[in-house]
Chain A
Amino acid sequence: MSQDIAGAAVAGQVAMVFDLNKCMGCQTCSIACKVLWTREEGEEHQWWMTVNTQPGQGTPKDWEDMGGGRKDGSPVTGHQPTRAEFGGGWEFNYDEVFYGGKGRSVHLKPTDKGDGTTRWGMNWDEDQGAGEYPNAYYFYLPRLCNHCTHPVCASACPTGAMYKRPQDGAVLRDEDLCQGSRFCMEACPYKKIYFNEARNVAQHCIMCFPRLEEGVAPACARQCPGRLTFVGMLSDPEGPIHKLVNEWEVALPLHPEYGTTPNVFYVPPLAPYRLNEDMSIDYETPRIPPEYLESLFGPKVHSALATMQGELDRVRAGGTSEILDTLIVYNWLDLFGPFTTDPGTLDRTPDKVAVSLTAKRTEPAGG
């Protein structure tokens, strides 16, 4: 019934690269996703795409201490994040302030129904970061489901509702099969699955599969004003994702030690130089501690940063860099691989919508 941990055979793997040097934490991606997918009852606290300030506790709060994933060939028992740990999805005292005659004595505030949900939110510790002035540092980390090659979420699902789609490796959930048992939420080490209480099903990022099927990039990527979110097939040798990940090795998975082989990758952040006490520039000590970046992206982060720094130095000296040209993204549509269709050009009248719009599992569960 469970998915073989070796991962299902897929014809291709859809993947993403985020260049963290360009992310400005504007949350346009999060909002694009929220508006498109999670506006119904039971989805109030769901943010399939989140952007958090690093270092930070993230969302759900302290998710990196919640277990899940695999270690030494065995699954790691995980914690199922609670509504309070995700936080958000607040209700406000509108009635009291606007209609209860207390508009002058009571201020508008979220109402915590004793469940702690107003004590955290998806971007609660924004811009706190770490370090001391003038060498404080932080960067933004956009996160969504990694559509892992070894999806432990699917391996933990007792009903076969979660599966890796053969045509593009997107990890989906057949909601007709989901019984709301939430073992997936425990098993996912990235804590990117939410529980919809109203419908008693779990939910997570679907890689905008109905858009992919029409050649349209996922909403988070297409809406990003920072030109930093690449989408494409990982194995496409001409595509920027393959080059950044496999050829140049400057894009790395988050927490590779979690053992799920993510298909979302990050170009790690270089930071401005540190300042000495006399305000002169310290060219030697990196502002973001390399050991911190290693704790996120694994030991390969050092060579990735060295490659990036080398490319920067060469360009500054008057040379050229294919890596930097790729990351600059002179042509916006170069971000989207085979998914460059403008959704505004599609005929959306109901009888013309050809995509499946369903995550129904077609091959038998247990295969």
Chain B
Amino acid sequence: MQVPEIVDDALDPADKAWAAVPSEKVPLVPVPIEEQPNEYIRTAWRTRPYGQTGEVDVAAVQRGERLLVRLEWDDSDEPNTEFLDGAGVFFPDAGDSGAPLTIGSHSAPVRLWAWRDRTPMQEALPAARELVASGPGAFRPAGLDAGDGENEGARPDAVSALSGGRWAVVIAGDLAPAAAAGRMGVVVWDGSNDERAGIGAVSPNWVPLTVK
């Protein structure tokens, strides 16, 4: 996927800049049940369908030191009051050749920018967080090991809009590690089906990123 440069910010998924950016349909599959991180989750979800968001439209641009990724997918389900919809993009370390299917592994963790819809009570929470993912749901805030608390500087931004049963979300973060990775994985959580952590839909193949 080509990652063209833009001049003005386009964090809003409705920004007209996106009309000129080619998007790609990326197929998604359920994160495999046998890769789920513990016996409880495997037992609770073994016979329950999840990860049914079949595909997501993906486009990406670079603006200065930032990478902006726009995701758009169908979600016409009635919202659920317990879990909200979410999506994320993730990047392996340069040179790592594992598949994106498990959202990282202990030996090859990935950098995950995770967006989640918010309730009115959650207004103070950031729209997106950077996590170190070492397997489905094995997510840890980035920067936690470096010092006390989350590294605010690593925090990605996101702006989202739900309209006509379709989500459009732009997630933005540091360009350098994404450019070094040269590829990206995508994950979508359908909140109305209680999806969260490793229970979701993931791209089985990396999406190549061609950054100037």
Chain A interface residues (CB < 8 Å from chain B): 1-2, 5, 41-42, 74-78, 80, 82-83, 115, 152, 155-160, 176-177, 179-183, 186-187, 197-200, 365
Q: A80-B82, A183-B197 are contacts. A74–B39 as well, Cβ < 8 Å?
A: yes
Asked if B40 and A152 sit within 8 Å, CB to CB, the answer is: yes
Q: A77-B43, A80-B82 are contacts. A158–B137 as well, Cβ < 8 Å?
A: yes
B30 to chain A, nearest CB (A): 16
Asked if A200 and B122 sit within 8 Å, CB to CB, the answer is: yes
Q: A75-B40, A158-B138 are contacts. A199–B125 as well, Cβ < 8 Å?
A: yes
A73 (CB) vs chain B CBs: closest residue: B39
Chain B interface residues (CB < 8 Å from chain A): 36-41, 43-44, 81-82, 119, 121-122, 124-125, 131, 134-141, 144, 149-150, 196-198
Asked if B39 and A2 sit within 8 Å, CB to CB, the answer is: yes
> In the assembled complex, which residues on chain B have CB atoms less than 8 Å from the CB atom of A5?
39
A186 (CB) vs chain B CBs: closest residue: B44
Interface secondary structure of B, over-half rule: loop
Q: A176-B141, A199-B125 are contacts. A158–B41 as well, Cβ < 8 Å?
A: yes
Asked if B138 and A1 sit within 8 Å, CB to CB, the answer is: yes
Partner of B39, one of A155, A199, A200, A365: A155
Asked if B43 and A158 sit within 8 Å, CB to CB, the answer is: no
Partner of B198, one of A74, A158, A160: A158
Asked if B37 and A158 sit within 8 Å, CB to CB, the answer is: yes
29 A-B pairs in the complex with CB atoms less than 8 angstroms apart: A1-B38, A74-B39, A75-B44, A80-B82, A115-B81, A152-B40, A155-B38, A156-B40, A158-B38, A158-B41, A158-B136, A158-B197, A159-B140, A177-B140, A177-B141, A177-B144, A179-B137, A179-B197, A181-B137, A182-B196, A183-B41, A183-B44, A183-B197, A187-B40, A197-B119, A197-B121, A198-B122, A198-B124, A200-B125
> In the assembled complex, which residues on chain A have CB atoms less than 8 Å from the CB atom of B121?
41-42, 197-198
A6 to chain B, nearest CB (A): 13
> In the assembled complex, which residues on chain B have CB atoms less than 8 Å from the CB atom of A115?
81
> In the assembled complex, which residues on chain B have CB atoms less than 8 Å from the CB atom of A199?
125
A68 to chain B, nearest CB (A): 9
Q: Which of A155, A183, A199 has the most CB of B within 10 A?
A: A183
In the bound assembly, the distance between CA atoms of A83 and B81 in angstroms comes to 10
The list of the 3 closest CB pairs from A to B, nearest first, reads: A158-B137, A156-B40, A2-B38
B135 (CB) vs chain A CBs: closest residue: A1
In the bound assembly, the distance between CA atoms of A75 and B36 in angstroms comes to 14
B87 to chain A, nearest CB (A): 15
A211 to chain B, nearest CB (A): 23
Q: A82-B81, A176-B150, A197-B121 are contacts. A155–B135 as well, Cβ < 8 Å?
A: no
> In the assembled complex, which residues on chain A have CB atoms less than 8 Å from the CB atom of B36?
158
Q: Which of A42, A159, A177, A199 has the most CB of B within 10 A?
A: A159
In the bound assembly, the distance between CA atoms of A159 and B196 in angstroms comes to 12
Partner of A197, one of B37, B122, B149: B122
> In the assembled complex, which residues on chain A have CB atoms less than 8 Å from the CB atom of B137?
158-159, 179, 181
In the bound assembly, the distance between CA atoms of A2 and B196 in angstroms comes to 17
B42 (CB) vs chain A CBs: closest residue: A75
